[in-house]
Amino acid sequence: MRKRRQIELFSLSFLDLISGALGAVIILYVAIPKNQPKVEPKDDIEKVMVKQELASSKAKIDELTKEIEALKAAQVKTAQPLKIEEPVVGGANVDIGFKFKGKNIVFIIDTSYSMTEEDRMGQVKAGLKMFLTSLPSEYKVDIVQYPLGERAPFRSMWGNIKETTGFNKTDAFDFIYSLRPSGGTPTRDALLFVIKNYDNLSDIVLLSDGQPTYHNSNRKDDIYDILNVVRAENKTKIQINTIGVGTNFIKDKTSDQYKFLSLLSEQNGGFFVGF
């Protein structure tokens, strides 16, 4: 847990500057009287004028001294450490407010060719690394990318969920670094693989930028058929959360990809976020 920082209204260097200014005033008003010729007083009138000048200088010095004391008092009063609440990551609510069902999570990452646009792949990599860094070790995760180019419709990092310890996080970061956009968007294949092959899974997080297609094809898949199949196969009630990547999810809420991800999360008890 990060150390709490102390916030000070005024630094000591600022008070030193004020003290230096006070010294300058003393020199100007005492040592070298302003706009007065350097002569010795010869009569009572001149003595009175000097006394008045000294009295005025003393009043200014007293005023500045009070201001410095007030600043010092304010510094002491505000020098208490500021209490900053740390994000809660030990429960079901993690990081930016994502509400997971449990602590066993598989991330399904769209690595289709369209992820090269707007540096979407780079944004997903950075966000996923930061998110995994924030997770405590009791969370168990795996990552599945889809597709693996033309070779396969998907690829898993481990094939089972593992605790987010330091060594496993390093493996995850290496896997994330290796992701390269290529091919279509076989979302159906990746979803059904995860639903059928991971025991005790509480959550799926699907990150995608486009409408599902068939593997090694530009032909669009039927989003409503996918939704029906997923509901039928999701017998253990895995919470499916979706994140839409790219400006299309913000600008056009009537698009098939927006409808698919929003309905997929809604029908399976998850959250949907577009960025």
CA distance 31 to 235: 91
pTM of the model: 0.66
What pLDDT band is residue 27 in, cutting at 50, 70 and 90?
Answer: very low
With vertex at residue 138, the alpha carbon angle to CA 134 and CA 141, rounded to the nearest 5 degrees, is 70
End-to-end CA distance of the chain: 29
Ranges of each domain in the chain? 12-77, 93-274
In the numeric block, the tokens 């009630």 are attached to: 237
Looking at the domain that runs over 93-274, which CATH code has it been given?
Answer: 3.40.50.410
Mean pLDDT of 104-113: 97
Tens digit of each residue's pLDDT (9 = 90 or more) over 50-93: 666 666 767 767 776 777 777 666 665 554 443 433 334 334 44
Range 105-110 average pLDDT: 98
